[in-house]
Amino acid sequence: MDISIKLIVVVIAIVLTGLSAGLCFTWTNAVTPGIGRLDNVGYLQAFQAMNRAIINPTFLVVFFGAFIAQLVSVFLWKNASSTILLLLIAATLLYFFGLVIVTIFGNVPLNELLDKTNLATASAEELQQLRTKFEVRWNRFHFIRTLTSTLSFGSLVIALMYIVSYQTNS
Average pLDDT over residues 100-129: 97
Domain ranges of the chain: 3-169
Helix axes 57-76, 3-26, angle to 10 degrees: 140
- The model carries a pTM of 0.94
Average pLDDT over residues 78-94: 97
In the predicted structure, residue 1 carries a pLDDT above the cut 80 = no
